[in-house]
Structure 1
Amino acid sequence: MSVPEIVIKTRQAASGQPGETAEVRQVTTTEDMHPDPSKSIKLPPNRQKLIDDVIALYSMEPTVERVSRYAPSCVYDDQFVYANNRYKMACQWFALPKLFAASRNEGYEIIHNSQNLIQFKNEQTWELLGVGSLKPITINALVSLSLDPATSDSDFPLITYHKDQANEKDYSHGGIGFILKKGQADIVPKLFLDKDSPVHFFKEDDLPEKPVVKHGSGTNAPTKDF
């Protein structure tokens, strides 16, 4: 299957569910988010390939096919970025090599696998570009991948909401911090990606923005122990 066929297929197969409606909310009481790969839940081949592609994206190996793992109306949400469609999210992955010298996956542990949700503990080491005096930064995070119900059992399941939490709190989607996160998703394509970047394959996914779901606090989500 060629890359254009993959993208066309994902657009046709997606349920159309807005990413905002698929957000998983959680405040974790787990102090140790260091992954133990030996305890990782074994996934079926279609889902393991999805995780392999996501880990490759974290490790600065973006391709059009890997970005096509996301539904057009997806949301990517971490401590630095809120990108609310596939084009903006794709810009983040393709811009990483412009911002970091290296990104290395130290290991992951699948801790939850259900019909429309995969969660894993992830450890990633980042080296900033052009800042040789600083030590690499290693981050342990809880990653939650909400899956499109129309494709969750297919050979090519799609992600509708990608949440990356580096501490116990959830995101409120309010305040100056959120304004900066959302603004970053708009600025990156303009500053770091040229006209020849593969990211422009997804330009037609630059969909009209949907209302952001605000939660009032990052501590009022359900408490979960991982």
Structure 2
Amino acid sequence: MSSSSSPPFEAYQIKNTTINEAPGVKLSADQRLLVGSVLDLFSGNPTLKHLALWSPSALFADPITSAAGYDRFAAQWYGLPALFRPIQIQSHRVTSAGNPIEMQLENRYTLRGPVKTAQTITSVVRISVGGDGRIERLEDRWNDKLPEGVVSEAFRKLNAMTVPNFVTVPKTEAEDQKLKAEREKVE
């Protein structure tokens, strides 16, 4: 992607078009597109178009998963609205326009089901962009931390391998639109 030819947010069905930048931070058009798409993912609104902005070998990491490769990280994003609804971004602010792009995020997740348990998570999100302009690594650092150690890393990788067995990731645009319509019907 290049700034002069960045497709508009609409081309990627991005809903989060207002990007809050900290004083002195100025994102390029390409960076704004990536941040908007990431905010949509954190809002529980994944689409194949959003994931087209990711490198197929990208890594998604948070305290409970370390998902490398499209099948694993896509399942994490599509699994989010399957477990939580609503998901509401309380606040976000981009604090660095470097590589990685850094953003402070406060998100409220409500567990689906009869008991609507809600949890607010404050995190620092780091979006690393490859030479092709696509996301190659995204870290969701709860309280600006990721767990360390062999046991926690094994658990995070196991989670990344298990989730794809239970979450449907659409293969076609038609399947994606059907899932999206089902999510929006529930809201």
User: Scaled by the length of structure 1, what TM-score is found?
Assistant: 0.62
Q: Which is higher, the Rg of structure 1 or of structure 2?
A: 1
**CA RMSD between the two structures:** 2.0
Corresponding residue number in structure 1 for 2:154: 179
Separation (CA, whole Å) in 1 of partners of 2:37 and 2:150: 33
Alignment match, 1:120? 103
The corresponding residue for 1:79 is: 63
| Correspondence 1:103 to 2:87 | yes
- Show CA shifts across 1:177-210 (max 9, x none): 22221111111111232xxx41x46xxxxxxxxx
Following the alignment from structure 1 to structure 2, what is the Cα–Cα distance between the partners of residues 131 and 182?
Answer: 30
Aligned match of 2:50? 66
Deviation at 1:144, TM superposition (A): 0.6
1:54 to 27, 38, 41: 38
Checking the alignment, whether the CA contact within 8 Å between 2:94 and 2:102 is kept in structure 1 is: yes
Distance 2:59 2:21 in 1: 30
The alpha-carbon distance between structure 1 residues 113 and 102, as it changes in their structure 2 partners (threshold 3 A), is same
Structure 2 letter corresponding to 1:164? D
Find the aligned partners of 1:95 and 1:133 in 2 and give their Cα distance: 17
Aligned residues: 153
Aligned to 1:138: 120
| CA pair 48-113 structure 1, distance change in 2 beyond 3 A | same
Which runs of 5 or more residues in structure 1 are unaligned? 1-5, 7-36, 152-156, 202-226
Question: Once the two structures are superposed, what CA deviation does each residue of 1:7-64 show, in whole Å capped at 9, x if it has no partner?
Answer: xxxxxxxxxxxxxxxxxxxxxxxxxxxxxx4735231222111111100011111110
Q: 1:82 to 1:51 in 2, by over 3 A?
A: same
Structure 1 or 2: more strand by fraction: 2
SS at match of 2:46: coil
State the shift of 1:133 in Å.
4.9
What's the CA shift string for 1:56-85, capped at 9, x where partnerless? 011111110101111111111101111011
Gaps spanning 5+ residues in structure 2: where? 1-6, 8-19, 173-187
Task: Return 54-63 or 102-111, whichever deviates more.
Answer: 102-111
Percent of aligned positions that are identical: 25
Distance 1:65 1:168, change over 3 A: closer
TM-score (norm 2): 0.74
Paired residue type of 2:161: D
Matched, 1:188 2:179: no
